[in-house]
């Protein structure tokens, strides 16, 4: 029976370990190539079976490493069969180092996906975690998934393996990586199904393709069909430019009424863009109606002073976004990369947009067309893409900023007492008097006619703004039927819900930046998730931080994660000591008496101990833990211990200090500065929450600091 396998290799200098687990069951195959144990014949038979039955390998970076090793082994199996276990392992190790070095230098690898004997699903590539902005190791994704063990390889790859204990240690590590990769595969189930559908429909190998690659391949496919130009020929096309005169690409309709924006337009007209130096190549800011707005070559960003802004009976927060802004700028203005047939490109780009509107969001094609529309713009600034034309990119980004500013100016100048809140790439938020809501929509309709673009509008009851990239927005209530109400409540329990007079209402919420806490992308840093979750519940549901923390006992939400970069390493500083032998033999009764004599109090039971200054008397420590914390200790000795490259930890009442140390000059930087102690939590240990000795003061200090920075602004909004 055909089986597909999640797999991982460990290549040591004289030992090779291969672990495979069936994607649908716990069926696991382990192969060791070493002089102590040589499973070579069984391993080769297993690979032959994979090829014969068309079985797939699912991996983390398999296309870049494991699959390369597999292909080398398949192609050289005959000659390798005459070697000893260690000789084979040494040969595989040399190939592994060759592949790693080739990858590190940016060279093309020897085997392409379509030429491999065993088909691959690479969840690393699929999720685009090879992209510099999202780059993530398996260890980091394990941390993001709250995996029980995120331990690094226990032995360095150059270590000579000499014992069965070492082999078992490596196998255990490898199995952990396989099972966690399997979990990533399960979380990527819908994405894999999408790629399967696209691969079969268009006969393009997309099983491990990132969204930009899907966009590139499908756009290429459709454009080739529409123009009759072969794919190979299209792939070679680029438009390279030495410079771009911005005044030559600004749309004729871009005009302003106020001196502030007229000056902005003048500044843009004077820009010469050099495509080789676009990053940070232009920066300009304006201050308009009390809001600082920043401009660059990529987009517009501006926000009012951090604080809390609310709708009320007189004022309302309006939010308006341009529908598919960047794609539609190109579509409505007939723009195309200069090297591509203009008519066919524009017709195809518009076809994707129009087709998407006709299709339900539940239809897989809707999602496909969405990523094609969005990625095509990004690929126009990618020198490795056949869509590359930096002038096409600049037309979109610069006219996008200026067109949005036209709407910004029109609203604020034409509506009395309008207060701009935020502007960000494809939309803006503004507080206006409720009596001018129709006027607002009329202005927007006028802007739509000028630009040939379309806006979508909504209203917020509240915005909690840190800055343009960090905010919480609460929509106004929407009336829905009971079934829809229950469906939304099940999928988004953090939303705001109410039932009145037999009617059902919900208010959706949106969190950005440091306020995000729900369904975070796995490559993002989810450190101390309890902090944004508590802040959200305070501002949205009115729950006091102290009360909310009392209800939260998921230790992973209190954990932070750090990963090393460059020539640095993590070390742990701690003082190791032992309990004075006089106290180590105390009975439970003696421990209780000692605690009573040393300032502790019993709370709701004989074995729940709290301190007199403790606010929450319901959550104390068991007798044994309170006693260990209090009894005298002897033999305190400073210890410095090396740690691995990816660390999970939480702030605790006792513990150690995690320090980042430079290997060259010895510089040391505390991961958490000040008095706070940490507990390294690489491997999950299940126990009652109070026994983790989490220090709530750290989390409350961070939470209350954020709240204090936001709340005082309320008093400044006298106009509301």
Highest average pLDDT, of 91-100, 106-115, 574-583, comes from 91-100
Output the pLDDT for position 719: 33
**Using an 8 Å Cβ cutoff, are 309 and 439 in contact?**
no
Residue 375's pLDDT is: 85
Quick one: DSSP state of residue 34? Answer: S
The two three-digit tokens of residue 64, written as one number: 């870049």
Q: Count CB neighbours of 544 within 10 A.
A: 11
- The CA-based angle 164-165-171, given to 5 degrees, is 85
Residue scoring higher pLDDT (203 or 634):
203
Question: In whole angstroms, what is the distance from residue 521 CA to residue 688 CA?
Answer: 29
Contact 426, 321 (CB under 8 A): yes
User: Helix, strand, or coil here: 310?
Assistant: strand
pLDDT above 90 covers a percentage of the chain that reads: 80
Q: What is the pLDDT of residues 317-356, one digit of tens each?
A: 999 999 999 999 999 999 999 999 999 999 999 999 998 9
pLDDT value at residue 278:
73
Q: What whole-number distance in Å separates Cα of residue 659 and Cα of residue 571?
A: 5
Average pLDDT, the chain: 92
Tell me the CB-side half-sphere exposure of residue 508, using CA atoms within 13 A. 8
pLDDT band at 238 (very low <50, low <70, confident <90, very high): very high
Range 151-166 average pLDDT? 93
Q: Where in the chain is the domain with CATH 3.30.420?
A: 5-209
Query: What is the bridge-based pairing of β-strands 601-602 and 609-610?
Result: antiparallel
CATH topology of domain 244-338+389-474: Palm domain of DNA polymerase (3.90.1600)
Is the model more confident about 1 or about 58? Answer: 58
**Backbone dihedral angles phi then psi of residue 708, each to the nearest 5 degrees:** -65, -35
Residue holding tokens 């009392």? 550
Q: What is the largest CA-CA distance in the chain?
A: 90
What confidence tens digit (pLDDT) does each residue in 471-493 have? 999 999 999 999 999 999 999 99
pLDDT digits (tens, 9 = 90+) for 668-711: 899 998 889 999 999 999 999 999 999 999 999 999 999 999 98
CATH class of 5-209: alpha beta
Instruction: Give the closest residue to 329 by CA, choosing from 278, 374, 369.
Output: 374
Q: Which two tokens stand for residue 433?
A: 């008097």
Sheet architecture: strand order including 503-507: 478-480, 503-507, 496-500
Backbone angles phi, psi at 82, to 5 degrees: -90, 0
**Residue 715 above 80 pLDDT?**
no
DSSP 140: H
667 or 268, greater pLDDT: 268
Residue 429 phi/psi, 5-degree rounding, is -125, 135
pLDDT of residue 717: 38
Q: Say if residue 275's pLDDT is above 60.
A: yes
Whether the pLDDT of residue 638 is over 90: the answer is no
At 532 the pLDDT is 98
Residue 272 vs residues 244, 256, 391, 394, 593: alpha-carbon distances, Å: 6, 22, 11, 11, 80
- Yes or no: say if 141 and 129 are a contact pair by the CB < 8 Å rule: yes
Residues sharing a CB contact under 8 Å with residue 453, sequence separation 6 or more, in sequence order = 322, 323, 325, 328, 329, 332, 403, 447
Contact present, 405 and 256 (Cβ < 8 Å): yes
Extract the tokens encoding 405.
Answer: 């500013």
Q: Are 516 and 536 in contact (CB under 8 A)?
A: no
Comparison of pLDDT for 140 and 576, the residue scoring more: 140
Over 60: is that where the pLDDT of 172 sits? yes
Q: Compute the chain's Rg from CA coordinates.
A: 30
Give strand pairing partners of 462: 310, 474
Q: What angle do CA 409, 414, 415 make, to 5 degrees?
A: 110
Neighbouring residues of 604: CB distance < 8 A, sequence distance ≥ 6: 617, 618
In the structure, how many helices (H) and strands (E) does the chain have?
22, 29
Question: Which range scores top for mean pLDDT: 331-340, 376-385, 617-626, 707-716?
Answer: 331-340
Locate CATH 3.90.1600.10 in the chain: 244-338+389-474
Query: Running DSSP on this structure, what letter comes out for residue 363?
Result: S
DSSP assignment of 110-175 equals: S--GGG-SS-EEEHHHHTTTTSTTT---HHHHHHHTT-SB-PPPSS-TT----SHHHHHHHHHHHH
The mean-pLDDT minimum among 4-18, 366-380, 391-405, 455-469 falls in: 366-380
CB 44 within 8 A of CB 35: no
**CA-to-CA distance for 399 and 249, rounded, in angstroms?**
8
SS3 646: strand
* The pLDDT of residue 637: 64
Binned at pLDDT 50, 70 and 90, residue 618 comes out as low
Beta strands in 580-686 (DSSP E): 601-602, 609-610, 633-642, 646-652, 657-662, 668-670, 677-680
Report whether pLDDT(298) > 90: no
């Amino acid at each position: 029976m055909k089986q597909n396998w999640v797999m991982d290799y460990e290549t040591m200098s004289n030992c090779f370990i291969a672990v495979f687990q069936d994607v649908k069951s716990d069926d696991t195959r382990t192969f060791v190539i070493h002089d102590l144990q040589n499973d070579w014949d069984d391993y080769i038979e297993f690979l032959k079976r994979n090829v014969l039955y068309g079985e797939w390998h699912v991996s983390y970076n398999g296309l870049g490493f494991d699959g390369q090793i597999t292909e080398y082994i398949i192609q050289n199996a005959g000659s390798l069969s005459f070697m000893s276990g260690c000789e084979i392992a040494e040969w595989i190790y040399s190939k592994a180092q060759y592949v790693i070095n080739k990858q590190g230098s940016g060279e093309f690898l020897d085997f392409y996906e379509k030429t491999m004997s065993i088909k691959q699903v690479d969840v690393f590539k699929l999720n685009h975690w090879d992209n510099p902005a999202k780059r993530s190791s398996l260890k980091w994704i394990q941390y993001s998934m709250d995996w029980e063990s995120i331990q690094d390889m226990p032995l360095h790859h150059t270590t000579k393996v000499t014992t069965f204990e070492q082999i078992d240690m490596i196998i255990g590590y490898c199995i952990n990586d396989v099972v966690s990769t399997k979990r990533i595969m399960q979380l990527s189930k819908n994405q894999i199904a999408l790629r399967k559908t696209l691969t079969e429909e268009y006969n393009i190998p997309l099983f491990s393709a990132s969204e930009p690659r899907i966009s590139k391949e499908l756009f290429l496919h459709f454009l080739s069909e529409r123009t009759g130009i072969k794919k190979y020929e299209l792939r070679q096309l680029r438009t390279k430019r030495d410079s771009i005169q911005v005044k030559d690409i600004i749309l004729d309709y871009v005009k302003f009424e106020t001196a502030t924006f007229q000056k902005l337009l003048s500044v843009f007209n004077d820009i010469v863009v050099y495509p080789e130096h676009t990053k940070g190549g232009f920066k300009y800011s304006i201050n308009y109606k009390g809001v600082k707005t920043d401009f660059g070559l990529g987009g517009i960003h501006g926000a009012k002073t951090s604080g809390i802004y609310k709708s009320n009976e007189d004022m309302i927060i309006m939010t308006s976004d341009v529908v598919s802004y960047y794609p539609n700028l190109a579509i409505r203005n007939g723009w195309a990369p200069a090297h591509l047939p203009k008519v066919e490109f524009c017709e195809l780009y518009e076809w994707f947009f129009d087709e998407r509107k006709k299709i339900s969001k539940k239809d897989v094609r809707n999602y496909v067309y969405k990523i094609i529309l969005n990625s095509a713009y990004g690929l126009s600034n990618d020198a490795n893409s056949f869509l590359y034309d930096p002038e096409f990119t600049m037309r979109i980004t610069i006219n996008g900023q200026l067109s949005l500013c036209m709407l910004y100016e029109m609203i604020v100048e034409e509506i009395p007492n309008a207060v701009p809140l935020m502007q960000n790439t494809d939309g803006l938020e503004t507080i206006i008097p409720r009596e001018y809501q129709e006027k607002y929509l009329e202005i927007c309709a006028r802007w739509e006619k000028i630009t040939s673009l379309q806006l979508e509008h909504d209203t917020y009851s509240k915005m909690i703004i840190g800055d343009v990239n960090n905010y919480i927005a609460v929509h106004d209530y929407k009336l829905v039927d009971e079934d829809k109400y229950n469906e939304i409540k099940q999928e988004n329990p953090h939303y705001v819900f109410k039932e009145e007079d037999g009617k059902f209402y919900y208010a959706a919420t949106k969190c950005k930046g440091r306020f995000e806490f729900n369904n975070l992308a796995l490559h993002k840093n989810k450190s101390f998730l309890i902090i944004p979750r508590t802040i959200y519940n305070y501002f949205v549901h009115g729950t006091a931080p102290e009360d909310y923390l009392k209800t939260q006992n998921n230790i992973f939400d209190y954990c932070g994660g750090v990963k090393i970069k460059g020539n640095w390493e993590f070390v742990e500083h701690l003082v190791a000591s032992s309990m004075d032998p006089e106290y180590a033999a105390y009975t439970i009764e003696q421990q209780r008496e000692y605690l009573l004599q040393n300032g502790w109090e019993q709370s709701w039971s004989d074995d729940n101990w709290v301190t007199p200054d403790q606010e929450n008397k319901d959550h104390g420590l068991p007798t044994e833990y309170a006693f260990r914390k209090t009894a005298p200790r002897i033999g305190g000795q400073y210890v410095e211990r090396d740690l691995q490259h990816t660390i999970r930890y939480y702030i605790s009442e006792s513990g150690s200090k995690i320090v980042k140390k430079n290997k060259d000059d010895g510089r040391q930087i505390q991961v958490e500065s000040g008095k706070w102690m940490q507990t390294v939590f690489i491997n999950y240990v299940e126990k009652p929450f109070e026994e983790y000795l989490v220090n709530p003061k750290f989390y409350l200090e961070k939470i209350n600091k954020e709240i204090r920075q936001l709340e005082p602004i309320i008093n400044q909004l006298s106009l509301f």
